[in-house]
Structure 1
């Protein structure tokens, strides 16, 4: 009896210990998840950049005036990381045609780009980012499309009503059934048998724009089990209960022709995370179709990285529970909910957009009158208040431009609110994200929910975040100023590292000198510096250990490029909102007016010069072929043509090139080119070239593709120019070293000097004062932008009015204000007045 009791006590103790150990282990896993989220929010938070431009399209000879906003990606307040912003204008080939480096010492910083008379007309892209953003695998830069038109010859004034401009969206008209693309996104991530599932639906046409259409979900006997309808942007939702022993498909019909689309796979067991957004609260409905499936699970919710909700599944919540979550204390933006199993595995994810009216900041524009005459003085008063009519303060930029140049109704032009609250966290969402921030309606609420269902959280992946035990060393640390960095190598072999002592000399108004030792890899860095215009830089390097041999200057100094290499793809909308012909007509109203009315301008007759112009492809090929001894290669592979290659090694890329065989694992790979002729010693190793210099195989083995431009593979007659060494073929790797410098660098042993461009100094926007007549006032005033202020502080109290003069242009003018309140709320507002 005693032995039996003793055994029972021991068994009970063991069970108690095991029962205690499981929650402890579970608690440790969840603590690790929460800890990593805290580190992300406090130390690894992203940055966001937004640009406000004075207009939305331009003509040759005009100036793009812009204001930059650099904020912390979580709090949306001024970032405390970077101070350097890169602003670029890209043409239709994604080639940078203009760039500005802006020093951000406040929330809003102005700048401008002059559009020369020779710039080609077309659809351009304005891009802004910091180097710190490049640490993300798929960075989200600010991008805005800007059409640039050519002024047409003088003639009758063209009329154009921008109020009727709307985004061109696909409908079933002109769209064939073959051009449709239909995608389904199960709420939470999976379709689970036996439970009610909601799917987000997205249907696009030939141009990638949304299609409004009706469709059906049918079972294996082709019987309809659910009907769905997409509306604006091709978005919609549909719900149904799938059976595990049944297959389903979707059908869509256009003009009597139908097409079938597959549905996601149905899981026999799993979890469903269903969320309804009721405005002032969220209803969270979590279900599992397994016994005790929710016991010990964790449901976590965060908004841009700030944790606001956590719930651990209780013993009485075995397979279902519902929670009402109030949203009155949450900021606006994309909330990210994730359900973790008791073992810490993320199994369901769901995005919800929080839009609390109490968070709204209202910026009002008040004027003494709504209509003005030509060259009249305009006074505008600004009032910034919260939802309770209490004064607020913030930084804003303001532009006043012709309505024809500032398209505001139903367009793809982003504003600061749609960018910071939607696209900056999700990437490109829809053609007109501002649609979701206009007057509230049931349809907009429904479509915003569908938008959340059809997008995933892209700032981080939970599995990667949790597995990251320590913070990664940043490839691109935040920039506080301009840096002068590089490495030292042997002068005749730039791939042989040579540590040295480097002295920096800057010759500006005075002389600045600084001396540093390189690290073991020969790398050095000076800065940060903050200067404008250009400076003269001299770098001197010596090898103190080679002084006795008289070779202390046998060193090459290779300076890093100032401009970063961008590997992220640009985002271009399928259709631009403003028809290009109308943009060209509008250009006639402004620029050509100078020819018609200005007596000091002489218009010359048209002269036509005919010459065969090289295409962009021909120019690029000529430049690249000039880098190689062998000229043009039949088998040439560009690194950026391989998705994901920017984070691979050169050996990984060689595996993807036809005719090249790579066997083994690092560092013992064996490379063979099919078609090569084995040498007399039966070696199969090809010849390796790096920027035209023969190198051993291990140099190529250790190379990453960052900085590599292209790889040529040569065989046969092509390789013969390199002699018998190339009997087994040639693998020639070429980097883009020196192609992205903003200076001309002269190289001598142990010394280099160059001119380095500093931060761009923006010009002041000119506004005429017609109060006192002047001789220059006799000239016509056809300005399309009447007023521009890139950094204006609004304090909410006793704000001085804005004052400027109208010109000779008549019609509707738009006042557009954008900016941030001090507590991180984005604000965008418009006001219109007439000039008769």
Structure 2
């Protein structure tokens, strides 16, 4: 036995980079290839409150994290945020936030028309669409509406969901097992149960009780050729029979003890196959955050394997152990949590413990590591009225989401419970939780495929538009298709671009960077001047939307408290409308006097040309369009022969590497060759823009502009109302709205208006960007409302070194 144990100990020391085993090398290689091809992102939203009323604004801070390093992710820039009605299963609102350094401040205005009920915000990047929808961030909350009740979820109290979870995945005859279990009601809350395991003949084998949120565990060893029955009792009210897991005649089992010792884990693998002559090894692979940190093996001829594993090999968070048989097939799996307890000590200290209504508050924030050294980070801080904003016990925050909830199946009830205490029973409860809620970030079947498919969705660096160009009959062109596009916003500048469609007619415009709604015009020209094209612009398809159950522990108000909350929220919304109306009134009082411009040709951007040549019937129209300019426009020189003329506008130096001007045809940019192919008798006029007149086209107008307008182009209609041109409206990044916080010692109009109105805001203050400096410190200033209440302060965020942080504080307001 001692010699066998030493063999196992040696096996435990073999790691991914030293294992000289073809099967192990193959699995590790495929895992690393998968991790490199499909690196994973985690999104998180910090919201100011756990519930809202229709018409209110959700204030939020978005974080995007690299799953492998836990650092802020700077690869993806657009972050999609959707407002989803859980009861209808519909997206009722959407916006795009622009991430900068992996973070973005944002807000979501809830329409007045929303009905009372349960909603959620879903956050995801385009890259995250390569994975299951459940890996996207979802935050559930309740919306109230005056005069409407949130209909309660009705269910039979005896309808309990109860499941067994054998450690490692299966129970095998004659082998020692642990079996975890979980009981929950119809809305997902754990319920305490007791139960018994009976043989088919009625003998009692095991008596068990849940020990935490409906979860528990017991030891079990199945006898050969025996069947079992399980019965549970809920609140001593009723008893029912539940299905017991199937018993396998032959197979593998595994067990992990990760709680008893702070530094070591003990892992056991056993099987009952009778294969003494078989060659090959049993493999155990341990991985965390997309990296393999541990590999061990033992010959398949050994019926059991015991190893000790140092916890130092793994980072903070969930580690997954998988057992592979000699063929490379995964047979058992187990999750454990590695606690490092190397968290950030962050303090939030008000300059007083008791304040008066409307008094200024000063918060001192300080972050230090476990060695007392200062820590720099970027955080979001919210201050709420404790009587209006009721907080759930052990609620979700950025730390427990990134380390736990984002890496397990299903919703974790009271997730912060596992991180606020270090008691042995809490660590044990975490272990039981991970036995009942399995891994969900990838499947070994996907990793071990012989051919790994390329990702369908790319990581976006900006707003993207794509489409397809065909003939009018839907068939593809055999020639290259020239594309020109123009993008603009109401009252803003216009930008231009050009390129070629792919041979299959597809095109894309990538990495656009704009805020608000814009229009984009796309013109397709096949060959020299064939505009008889058809343009299809793709509409973005949202990810699959799954209906979710009612959130855990939905907060319920006392009837009087709810009425008071709705009344105060209504008053605050009225104040916001008053301030907004007053600002609009001030803007309307600003009078701008200017001469009215002459009505201009809407085919072009400019209102005034430096020179204009009108084409009349008495002109000699032989040659090409540019020949018409010879000697007719001062400062415009046309040189060379009619087939390859060169145009120079004298007095203008080269701005873009070419001395020739930019050419336009009915307002769209064209190359010179396209202009030369236009029949002269189709031309109505030629405009020449120089200097300041050409500045509207930016750097493209640096050498001047030659604008040709045809008789075909009807100036009474929009330039895109013809074949070969398509216009669509696209949404860019959502503008960032500033949280309004009144200053009661200030003379501004808003403060005056609010001073004469009751101020009972539920969210007293919201600061999405709070940075600690090199000394680990930051200061926040704001004013209280009218309310005499207890105030809650919550902070969430990330340090520059990739550690999630959350902290709380409080103070009181009294007259």
TM-score range, shorter chain: 0.7 to 0.9
1:795 pairs with one of 762, 770, 773: 773
Number of the residue aligned with 2:317? 333
CA 1:436–1:746 in structure 2 vs 1: closer, same or farther (change >3 Å)? Answer: farther
What's the CA shift for 1:117? 2.9
SS at match of 2:404: helix
CA 1:294–1:143 in structure 2 vs 1: closer, same or farther (change >3 Å)? Answer: farther
Q: Distance in 2 between matches of 1:288 and 1:180?
A: 34
1:815 pairs with one of 793, 805, 809: 793
Q: Is the contact made by 1:169 and 1:211 (CA closer than 8 Å) also made in structure 2?
A: no
Number of the residue aligned with 1:672? none
What's the CA shift for 1:400? 0.7
CA 1:207–1:523 in structure 2 vs 1: closer, same or farther (change >3 Å)? Answer: same
1:518 pairs with one of 482, 496, 501: 501
Q: 1:38-53 maps to which residues of 2 (within 5 A)?
A: 38-53=32-47
Q: Distance in 1 between matches of 2:44 and 2:771?
A: 17
CA 1:773–1:500 in structure 2 vs 1: closer, same or farther (change >3 Å)? Answer: closer
What's the CA shift for 1:138? 4.3
Number of the residue aligned with 1:261? 242
Q: Is the contact made by 1:384 and 1:392 (CA closer than 8 Å) also made in structure 2?
A: yes
Question: Is 1:84 matched up with 2:78?
Answer: yes
Residues 634-682 of structure 1, C-alpha deviations (whole Å, 9 max, x = no match): xxxxxxxxxxxxxxxxxxxxxxxxxxxxxxxxxxxxxxxxxxxxxxxxx
CA 1:782–1:208 in structure 2 vs 1: closer, same or farther (change >3 Å)? Answer: closer
CA 1:798–1:585 in structure 2 vs 1: closer, same or farther (change >3 Å)? Answer: same
What's the CA shift for 1:298? 1.4
Residues 693-749 of structure 1, C-alpha deviations (whole Å, 9 max, x = no match): xxxxxxxxxxxxxxxxxxxxxxxxxxxxxxxxxxxxxxxxxxxxxxxxxxx998852
Q: 1:162-561 maps to which residues of 2 (within 5 A)?
A: 175-176=157-158, 179-254=159-234, 255=236, 257-278=238-259, 279-291=262-274, 296-313=281-298, 318-328=302-312, 330-357=314-341, 359-410=342-393, 413-470=395-452, 472-493=453-474, 500-507=481-488, 509-544=492-527, 552-561=530-539
Q: Distance in 2 between matches of 1:398 and 1:54?
A: 8
SS at match of 1:88: strand
For normalisation by structure 2, the TM-score amounts to 0.73
SS at match of 1:591: helix
2:61 pairs with one of 49, 64, 67: 67
Q: Distance in 2 between matches of 1:599 and 1:478?
A: 39
Q: Distance in 2 between matches of 1:74 and 1:267?
A: 36
Q: Distance in 1 between matches of 2:400 and 2:102?
A: 18
Aligned-residue CA RMSD (Å): 3.2
1:58 pairs with one of 52, 56, 64: 52
Q: Is the contact made by 1:151 and 1:591 (CA closer than 8 Å) also made in structure 2?
A: no
What's the CA shift for 1:88? 1.4
Q: Distance in 1 between matches of 2:226 and 2:369?
A: 54
Number of the residue aligned with 2:114? 119
Q: Distance in 2 between matches of 1:400 and 1:199?
A: 44
What's the CA shift for 1:300? 0.7
Residues 120-161 of structure 1, C-alpha deviations (whole Å, 9 max, x = no match): 2222111111111111144411111122222479xxxxxxxx
Q: Is the contact made by 2:407 and 2:440 (CA closer than 8 Å) also made in structure 1?
A: yes
SS at match of 1:232: coil
1:95 pairs with one of 82, 87, 90: 90
Q: Is the contact made by 2:353 and 2:811 (CA closer than 8 Å) also made in structure 1?
A: yes
Which ranges of structure 2 fall in alignment gaps of 5 or more residues? 1-17, 580-717
What's the CA shift for 1:86? 0.6
What's the CA shift for 1:468? 4.2
Number of the residue aligned with 2:607? none
Q: Distance in 2 between matches of 1:787 and 1:249?
A: 57
Residues 782-803 of structure 1, C-alpha deviations (whole Å, 9 max, x = no match): 2222221112222361624211
CA 1:486–1:271 in structure 2 vs 1: closer, same or farther (change >3 Å)? Answer: same
SS at match of 1:297: strand
Q: Distance in 1 between matches of 2:319 and 2:142?
A: 34
Q: Distance in 2 between matches of 1:196 and 1:241?
A: 5
Q: Distance in 1 between matches of 2:470 and 2:195?
A: 65
Q: Distance in 2 between matches of 1:526 and 1:564?
A: 17
SS at match of 2:738: coil
Q: Is the contact made by 2:409 and 2:438 (CA closer than 8 Å) also made in structure 1?
A: no
What's the CA shift for 1:589? 4.9
SS at match of 2:787: coil
Q: Which moved more, 1:61-70 or 1:134-143?
A: 134-143
Q: Distance in 1 between matches of 2:249 and 2:163?
A: 22
Q: Is the contact made by 1:233 and 1:430 (CA closer than 8 Å) also made in structure 2?
A: no
Q: How many residues align?
A: 643
What's the CA shift for 1:478? 0.5
CA 1:257–1:409 in structure 2 vs 1: closer, same or farther (change >3 Å)? Answer: closer
What's the CA shift for 1:69? 0.2
Q: Distance in 1 between matches of 2:153 and 2:109?
A: 32
SS at match of 2:429: helix
What's the CA shift for 1:570? 4.2
Q: Is the contact made by 1:282 and 1:325 (CA closer than 8 Å) also made in structure 2?
A: yes
What's the CA shift for 1:335? 0.7
Q: Distance in 2 between matches of 1:346 and 1:364?
A: 46
For normalisation by structure 1, the TM-score amounts to 0.71
Q: Is the contact made by 2:170 and 2:247 (CA closer than 8 Å) also made in structure 1?
A: yes
Q: Is the contact made by 1:428 and 1:571 (CA closer than 8 Å) also made in structure 2?
A: no
